[in-house]
Amino acid sequence: MKKILAYFETVSESFRSGTALRVAANRLLVVWIPLSFVMGAVAWYYEVERFEERVMRDAVHDAERIQYADLERYYHNEINLDDLHILLQRLLNDSDFVSAEIYSGSKKEIIREVGERAAVISRDLWDKAEDMQIPDYPYTEITNADRVTAIATAPIKDALGNINGYLKGICVVKDGALSEMKEDSVGAALISITSTLLTMMIIFPIIIALQRMILVQAKRILEGNFELLEVLGNAVAQRDSDTDTHNYRVTLYALTLAKHIKLHDDIIRVIMIGSFLHDIGKIGISDAILLKPGKLTAEEFEVMKSHVTIGVDILRNSSWVSQAISIVGCHHEKFDGTGYPNGIKGESIPLEARLFAIVDVFDALTTRRPYKEPRSLEESLQIMRHDNGRHFDPAIFAGFEEVAERMYQEIGTAPYENLRKDLLHEAHKYIRVDG
């Protein structure tokens, strides 16, 4: 009972969730429309086939109404051609036959009767019926040119089963039967479409509930992934500086710039993870160097530079965070090739790393560090412009200049709680569970 209640609770909650409802409804609609079309067409086709089978069956059945007994009496001159005419007229009156012929056992025509309704028969059909060979078994050929017609033949057998004559004729299905068939076909198609719709309506809440459960799980995994990012990124930030807001700020800067220059969502996801973990390798740098208040010696700087390769090694073994490697490994490369660790230049540096280098420097300049006061926005931009084309990719820098002031106002001075909330919001948009 508890499970049933929980199920309905999930379903009703799902209906309240606009997104889940919309996604499921869209998907079901995409399935229902073609499925209805196919099911309706199958039902229509089945009805038409059934109707044609009935026409053929009735034609043969009516053709067999001419008995050998009547023919035998004619052969023995007990009745004449006029009597056979009457027999055929009855057949034409009581059935769909509009013309009928009786043949002898040697397939010579004995008599032919053409009714008034035969006027609707086309020349082609007359020719076809004329040319048709008469087999020794009941046979019907149906045509749907402009109306449903059939050419039917049936052998006339004596009591011992010997064939002593044949009947051949053309049937034209009466308009009433035809419209009845059309109504039946439309009805069958509609029933089929309605059944499909009802089935969809029954399974709709079940799909919604399942989808809702998947979304809940996905949200948990996503938040778990986000927390993993925070734990890893902040582990370094806590050692490196008084505050860990740098990671949040620099990641939000990078996301803002990436969206402004209209990068693809897949690259934005990489930028989000890579920006947050960019200095993860500093975890392997000793305190003596990492926290040294003064300028580093050349040897110490060489050690400090190794945080890039250490970071790549740390992330390499995780399929999820390894997406960050392009930024972690290249965030100190410079556009003119004077950076490290590999001195690559221009577009050889991954796009996301070229973008990140800009916002990383921007944050360093505009925030307070133990060894310096923050610089103003304009002052920071002046310094950075000097490095445009040397340190920074000019194409990305142009976009950065367009959004720098807005980024600075919205992110630069925001408190930790706001930054974290904003980044979690972005994570929901860009971090996929399967990514």
CB of 268 to Fe ion, least distance (A): 21
Q: Give per-residue burial for 191-210: e unless 16+ CB within 10 Å, then b.
A: ebbeebeeebeeebbebbbe
Q: What phi-psi label fits residue 292: left (phi over 0), alpha (psi between -120 and 50 degrees) or beta?
A: beta
Q: Shortest gap between Cβ of 16 and Fe ion (angstroms)?
A: 46
The CA-CA-CA angle for residues 139, 143, 148, to 5°, reads: 105
- Which helix (H) or strand (E) element contains residue 60? helix 18-63
Using Cβ positions, the residue closest to Fe ion within the complex turns out to be 279
Tokens 């001159």, residue located? 77
Contacts of residue 178, defined as CB under 8 A and 6 or more positions apart, other chains included, come to 147, 148
Interface with Fe ion (CB under 5 A): 279
Whichever of 189 and 280 has its CB closer to Fe ion, that residue is 280
Kindly tell me which of 165 and 350 has the beta carbon lying closer to Fe ion: 350
Shortest distance (Å) from residue 34 CB to Fe ion: 54
**Dist CA 156 CA 105 (whole Å):** 8
The arrangement of strands across the sheet holding 97-104 comes to 109-114, 97-104, 163-172, 149-157, 139-143
| Minimum distance, C-beta of residue 340 to Fe ion, in the bound complex (Å) | 10
Q: Nearer to Fe ion by C-beta: 28 or 285? A: 285
Q: Which is nearer to Fe ion, 279 or 393 (CB)?
A: 279
Q: Please check whether residue 117 is in contact with residue 129, taking contact to mean a CB–CB distance below 8 angstroms.
A: no
- As measured in angstroms, the least distance from the Cβ of 259 to Fe ion is 23
Give every CB contact of residue 266 below 8 A, 6+ residues apart in sequence. Answer: 435
Containing H/E element for 149? strand 149-157
Closest CB to Fe ion among 102 and 324?
A: 324
Shortest Å distance, C-beta 317 to Fe ion? 21
Cβ proximity of 365 and 383 under 8 Å: yes
| Residue 24 CB, nearest approach to Fe ion (Å) | 45
Q: Is 3 helix (H, G, I), strand (E, B) or coil?
A: helix
Q: Between 75 and 340, whose beta carbon lies closer to Fe ion? A: 340
> Smallest distance from the beta carbon of 376 to Fe ion, in angstroms?
24
Q: Two tokens at 240?
A: 């490196």
Sign of CA dihedral 88, 94, 95, 99: positive
Report in angstroms how near the CB of residue 332 gets to Fe ion at its nearest: 6
Instruction: Compute and round to an integer the Cα radius of gyration of the chain.
Output: 43
